[in-house]
Structure 1
Amino acid sequence: KALPYTWTQLLGELDIVVPVPKGTRARDLVVTIQKKKLKVALKGKEPIMEGELCKDIKVDESTWNIRMCSLQDNELLLIHLEKSNKEQWWENVLTHHPKIDTTKIEPPNSQLSDLDGETRGMVEKMMFDNQQKQMGKPTSDELKKMEALKKFQAAHPELDFSNAKIT
Protein backbone atom coordinates (compact mmCIF):
# COMPACT_ATOMS: atom_id res chain seq x y z
CA LYS A 1 0.00 0.00 0.00
CA ALA A 2 1.38 3.39 -0.98
CA LEU A 3 2.12 5.90 1.75
CA PRO A 4 -0.21 8.94 1.90
CA TYR A 5 2.83 11.25 1.64
CA THR A 6 6.24 11.65 0.06
CA TRP A 7 9.38 12.70 1.90
CA THR A 8 12.95 13.81 1.38
CA GLN A 9 15.77 14.41 3.81
CA LEU A 10 19.11 16.07 4.30
CA LEU A 11 21.31 15.20 7.26
CA GLY A 12 19.79 17.97 9.37
CA GLU A 13 16.21 18.13 8.16
CA LEU A 14 13.28 16.26 6.71
CA ASP A 15 10.49 17.48 4.41
CA ILE A 16 7.14 15.73 4.05
CA VAL A 17 4.55 16.48 1.34
CA VAL A 18 0.97 15.38 2.04
CA PRO A 19 -1.69 15.89 -0.68
CA VAL A 20 -4.95 17.22 0.81
CA PRO A 21 -8.28 17.99 -0.93
CA LYS A 22 -8.48 21.16 -3.02
CA GLY A 23 -9.73 24.09 -0.97
CA THR A 24 -8.23 22.80 2.29
CA ARG A 25 -7.11 25.64 4.56
CA ALA A 26 -4.91 25.56 7.67
CA ARG A 27 -7.98 25.80 9.92
CA ASP A 28 -9.33 22.58 8.33
CA LEU A 29 -6.31 20.59 9.51
CA VAL A 30 -5.05 19.10 12.75
CA VAL A 31 -1.25 18.99 12.55
CA THR A 32 0.47 17.98 15.77
CA ILE A 33 4.27 18.07 15.78
CA GLN A 34 5.95 16.70 18.92
CA LYS A 35 9.54 15.71 19.71
CA LYS A 36 8.86 12.06 18.85
CA LYS A 37 5.32 12.06 17.35
CA LEU A 38 3.50 13.42 14.32
CA LYS A 39 -0.21 13.56 13.50
CA VAL A 40 -1.85 14.92 10.37
CA ALA A 41 -5.64 14.86 9.93
CA LEU A 42 -8.51 16.75 8.39
CA LYS A 43 -10.72 17.96 11.26
CA GLY A 44 -13.33 15.35 12.14
CA LYS A 45 -11.72 12.65 9.94
CA GLU A 46 -9.37 9.71 10.49
CA PRO A 47 -5.69 10.77 10.57
CA ILE A 48 -3.90 10.82 7.21
CA MET A 49 -0.73 9.92 9.08
CA GLU A 50 -0.09 9.42 12.77
CA GLY A 51 2.57 7.75 14.84
CA GLU A 52 6.01 7.74 16.38
CA LEU A 53 8.76 9.50 14.46
CA CYS A 54 11.85 7.50 13.51
CA LYS A 55 14.06 9.83 15.57
CA ASP A 56 13.68 12.97 17.71
CA ILE A 57 13.08 16.39 16.17
CA LYS A 58 13.42 20.00 17.32
CA VAL A 59 9.78 21.05 17.69
CA ASP A 60 10.50 24.81 17.89
CA GLU A 61 12.31 24.73 14.53
CA SER A 62 9.78 22.53 12.73
CA THR A 63 6.97 24.07 10.64
CA TRP A 64 4.07 23.32 8.32
CA ASN A 65 2.03 25.19 5.71
CA ILE A 66 -0.31 24.63 2.76
CA ARG A 67 0.55 25.35 -0.88
CA MET A 68 -1.69 25.29 -3.92
CA CYS A 69 -0.62 22.83 -6.57
CA SER A 70 -1.76 23.74 -10.07
CA LEU A 71 -0.43 20.46 -11.51
CA GLN A 72 -2.69 18.29 -9.38
CA ASP A 73 -6.29 18.54 -8.33
CA ASN A 74 -5.44 19.16 -4.70
CA GLU A 75 -3.47 21.27 -2.23
CA LEU A 76 -0.19 20.20 -0.67
CA LEU A 77 0.54 20.23 3.04
CA LEU A 78 4.28 20.83 3.47
CA ILE A 79 5.84 19.75 6.77
CA HIS A 80 9.43 20.67 7.59
CA LEU A 81 11.06 18.83 10.50
CA GLU A 82 14.44 19.80 12.00
CA LYS A 83 16.29 16.73 13.20
CA SER A 84 17.71 16.74 16.74
CA ASN A 85 20.66 14.64 15.56
CA LYS A 86 21.91 16.29 12.37
CA GLU A 87 24.35 13.48 11.62
CA GLN A 88 21.94 10.58 11.12
CA TRP A 89 19.85 9.50 8.15
CA TRP A 90 16.31 8.40 8.91
CA GLU A 91 15.12 4.98 7.68
CA ASN A 92 11.49 6.13 7.66
CA VAL A 93 9.33 9.01 8.88
CA LEU A 94 7.02 7.01 11.14
CA THR A 95 8.37 3.88 12.82
CA HIS A 96 5.54 1.65 11.55
CA HIS A 97 6.11 2.59 7.89
CA PRO A 98 8.48 0.80 5.46
CA LYS A 99 12.20 1.48 5.89
CA ILE A 100 14.60 2.71 3.23
CA ASP A 101 18.21 1.54 2.89
CA THR A 102 20.18 4.50 4.28
CA THR A 103 23.46 3.06 2.94
CA LYS A 104 22.28 3.97 -0.58
CA ILE A 105 21.82 7.66 0.25
CA GLU A 106 24.23 9.90 -1.61
CA PRO A 107 24.55 13.14 0.35
CA PRO A 108 25.02 16.38 -1.57
CA ASN A 109 28.58 17.62 -1.74
CA SER A 110 29.21 19.93 1.16
CA GLN A 111 31.40 22.99 1.15
CA LEU A 112 34.12 23.56 3.73
CA SER A 113 32.29 26.79 4.57
CA ASP A 114 29.27 24.68 5.68
CA LEU A 115 31.30 23.17 8.52
CA ASP A 116 31.78 24.64 12.00
CA GLY A 117 35.23 26.10 12.73
CA GLU A 118 36.68 23.13 14.59
CA THR A 119 35.50 20.55 12.04
CA ARG A 120 36.64 22.75 9.17
CA GLY A 121 40.11 23.04 10.73
CA MET A 122 40.36 19.25 11.10
CA VAL A 123 39.30 18.68 7.47
CA GLU A 124 41.75 21.31 6.17
CA LYS A 125 44.57 19.71 8.21
CA MET A 126 43.71 16.26 6.83
CA MET A 127 43.66 17.62 3.27
CA PHE A 128 47.02 19.37 3.79
CA ASP A 129 48.56 16.23 5.34
CA ASN A 130 47.33 14.06 2.45
CA GLN A 131 48.83 16.48 -0.10
CA GLN A 132 52.12 16.54 1.81
CA LYS A 133 52.27 12.72 1.98
CA GLN A 134 51.57 12.40 -1.76
CA MET A 135 54.49 14.75 -2.47
CA GLY A 136 56.74 12.92 0.01
CA LYS A 137 56.86 15.98 2.27
CA PRO A 138 56.35 16.12 6.05
CA THR A 139 52.81 16.32 7.48
CA SER A 140 51.73 19.16 9.77
CA ASP A 141 52.51 17.05 12.88
CA GLU A 142 55.96 16.19 11.51
CA LEU A 143 56.58 19.87 10.71
CA LYS A 144 55.64 20.78 14.31
CA LYS A 145 58.08 18.17 15.67
CA MET A 146 60.87 19.45 13.39
CA GLU A 147 60.19 23.03 14.52
CA ALA A 148 60.24 21.99 18.21
CA LEU A 149 63.54 20.16 17.65
CA LYS A 150 65.09 23.23 15.97
CA LYS A 151 64.04 25.39 18.93
CA PHE A 152 65.47 22.85 21.39
CA GLN A 153 68.76 22.70 19.45
CA ALA A 154 68.96 26.50 19.36
CA ALA A 155 68.29 26.68 23.12
CA HIS A 156 71.00 24.05 23.82
CA PRO A 157 74.01 24.77 21.58
CA GLU A 158 76.20 22.80 24.01
CA LEU A 159 74.55 19.51 22.89
CA ASP A 160 75.88 17.67 19.83
CA PHE A 161 73.10 16.32 17.60
CA SER A 162 75.34 15.32 14.66
CA ASN A 163 75.04 11.56 15.35
CA ALA A 164 71.44 11.61 16.63
CA LYS A 165 68.86 9.51 14.80
CA ILE A 166 65.57 11.38 14.95
CA THR A 167 62.35 9.69 13.85
Structure 2
Amino acid sequence: MADFSEKNGIAECVVPWGRWWQTVDEVHIEASLDEPVTTKDLAIVIKNNRISLTVKGKVFFQGELCKVIQADESTWTLEDKKLIRILLAKANPGADNLWSALLANT
Protein backbone atom coordinates (compact mmCIF):
# COMPACT_ATOMS: atom_id res chain seq x y z
CA MET A 1 0.00 0.00 0.00
CA ALA A 2 1.17 3.52 -0.67
CA ASP A 3 1.90 5.53 2.45
CA PHE A 4 -1.04 7.56 3.65
CA SER A 5 -0.12 11.21 3.74
CA GLU A 6 -1.79 12.91 6.65
CA LYS A 7 -0.68 16.24 5.24
CA ASN A 8 -2.83 16.03 2.10
CA GLY A 9 -5.06 13.09 3.07
CA ILE A 10 -4.24 11.05 -0.05
CA ALA A 11 -2.57 7.70 -0.63
CA GLU A 12 -1.73 6.97 -4.29
CA CYS A 13 -0.79 3.73 -6.05
CA VAL A 14 0.40 3.48 -9.67
CA VAL A 15 -0.68 0.31 -11.52
CA PRO A 16 -0.07 -0.93 -15.11
CA TRP A 17 -3.42 0.42 -16.40
CA GLY A 18 -3.33 3.77 -14.55
CA ARG A 19 -3.52 4.70 -10.88
CA TRP A 20 -5.78 4.72 -7.87
CA TRP A 21 -5.74 6.66 -4.63
CA GLN A 22 -7.92 7.17 -1.63
CA THR A 23 -9.06 9.77 0.79
CA VAL A 24 -10.75 8.97 4.06
CA ASP A 25 -14.15 9.02 2.28
CA GLU A 26 -13.52 7.84 -1.28
CA VAL A 27 -11.44 5.70 -3.60
CA HIS A 28 -10.49 7.28 -6.95
CA ILE A 29 -9.47 5.22 -9.98
CA GLU A 30 -8.02 6.50 -13.26
CA ALA A 31 -7.51 4.18 -16.22
CA SER A 32 -5.50 5.60 -19.12
CA LEU A 33 -6.28 4.35 -22.63
CA ASP A 34 -3.95 4.22 -25.63
CA GLU A 35 -6.72 4.80 -28.17
CA PRO A 36 -9.86 6.95 -28.06
CA VAL A 37 -13.11 5.21 -27.09
CA THR A 38 -16.76 6.08 -26.60
CA THR A 39 -18.96 5.09 -23.69
CA LYS A 40 -20.40 2.34 -25.91
CA ASP A 41 -16.95 0.68 -25.85
CA LEU A 42 -16.98 0.48 -22.05
CA ALA A 43 -18.47 -2.06 -19.67
CA ILE A 44 -18.08 -0.83 -16.11
CA VAL A 45 -19.75 -2.74 -13.30
CA ILE A 46 -19.70 -1.32 -9.78
CA LYS A 47 -21.24 -3.35 -6.95
CA ASN A 48 -20.90 -3.04 -3.18
CA ASN A 49 -18.06 -5.56 -3.08
CA ARG A 50 -16.98 -6.05 -6.73
CA ILE A 51 -15.81 -3.98 -9.69
CA SER A 52 -14.89 -4.60 -13.30
CA LEU A 53 -13.66 -2.45 -16.16
CA THR A 54 -13.75 -3.81 -19.70
CA VAL A 55 -12.78 -1.74 -22.75
CA LYS A 56 -13.64 -3.04 -26.22
CA GLY A 57 -13.87 -6.56 -24.81
CA LYS A 58 -10.50 -6.36 -23.00
CA VAL A 59 -10.65 -6.69 -19.21
CA PHE A 60 -8.54 -3.99 -17.55
CA PHE A 61 -9.34 -5.18 -14.03
CA GLN A 62 -12.02 -7.12 -12.22
CA GLY A 63 -12.56 -8.72 -8.86
CA GLU A 64 -13.61 -8.36 -5.29
CA LEU A 65 -12.88 -4.97 -3.78
CA CYS A 66 -10.56 -4.75 -0.79
CA LYS A 67 -13.42 -3.32 1.28
CA VAL A 68 -17.12 -2.60 0.85
CA ILE A 69 -18.36 0.52 -0.95
CA GLN A 70 -21.69 2.25 -1.50
CA ALA A 71 -22.34 1.32 -5.13
CA ASP A 72 -25.33 3.66 -5.44
CA GLU A 73 -23.10 6.60 -4.41
CA SER A 74 -20.29 5.66 -6.82
CA THR A 75 -19.89 6.87 -10.40
CA TRP A 76 -17.61 6.98 -13.44
CA THR A 77 -16.83 9.33 -16.33
CA LEU A 78 -14.98 9.18 -19.64
CA GLU A 79 -12.81 12.24 -20.26
CA ASP A 80 -11.22 13.21 -23.57
CA LYS A 81 -12.09 9.73 -24.90
CA LYS A 82 -8.89 8.34 -23.31
CA LEU A 83 -9.26 8.63 -19.53
CA ILE A 84 -11.75 6.75 -17.38
CA ARG A 85 -12.31 8.15 -13.89
CA ILE A 86 -14.14 6.03 -11.33
CA LEU A 87 -15.19 7.33 -7.92
CA LEU A 88 -16.07 4.78 -5.24
CA ALA A 89 -17.78 5.95 -2.05
CA LYS A 90 -16.45 4.02 0.95
CA ALA A 91 -19.15 2.29 2.99
CA ASN A 92 -17.14 2.89 6.19
CA PRO A 93 -15.17 6.10 5.71
CA GLY A 94 -12.52 7.25 8.12
CA ALA A 95 -8.77 7.55 8.57
CA ASP A 96 -8.74 4.24 10.46
CA ASN A 97 -10.33 2.42 7.47
CA LEU A 98 -7.71 2.77 4.72
CA TRP A 99 -7.50 0.22 1.92
CA SER A 100 -4.30 -1.78 1.58
CA ALA A 101 -5.13 -2.55 -2.08
CA LEU A 102 -7.86 -1.84 -4.61
CA LEU A 103 -8.77 -5.50 -5.09
CA ALA A 104 -8.75 -8.23 -2.46
CA ASN A 105 -6.06 -10.90 -2.80
CA THR A 106 -3.69 -8.69 -4.81
Please, what TM-score do these two structures have when normalized by structure 1?
Answer: 0.51
* Deviations 1:87-114, CA, capped at 9 Å, x for gaps: 21111101132xxxxxxxxxxxxxxxxx
The answer to whether the aligner puts 1:8 opposite 2:8 as a matched pair is no
Take 2:35 and 2:73, find their aligned partners in 1: how far apart are those partners? 27
* Deviations 1:79-137, CA, capped at 9 Å, x for gaps: 0000000021111101132xxxxxxxxxxxxxxxxxxxxxxxxxxxxxxxxxxxxxxxx
1:4-153, aligned counterparts within 5 Å?
A: 4-45=17-58, 47-68=59-80, 75-87=82-94, 88-97=97-106
Take 1:96 and 1:24, find their aligned partners in 2: how far apart are those partners? 30
% identical equivalent positions: 31
Q: Which stretches in structure 2 are left out of the alignment for 5+ residues?
A: 1-14
Q: Which stretches in structure 1 are left out of the alignment for 5+ residues?
A: 69-73, 98-167
Relative to total residues, which structure has the larger helix share, 1 or 2? 1
In structure 2, do the counterparts of structure 1 residues 96 and 3 end up closer, same or farther at CA, with 3 Å as the change threshold? farther
Take 2:48 and 2:16, find their aligned partners in 1: how far apart are those partners? 22
Relative contact order, CA 8 A, sep 6+: which one is greater?
2
Please, what TM-score do these two structures have when normalized by structure 2?
Answer: 0.78
Relative to total residues, which structure has the larger strand share, 1 or 2? 2
Corresponding residue number in structure 2 for 1:101: none
Q: Which runs of 4+ in 1 moved over 6 A?
A: none
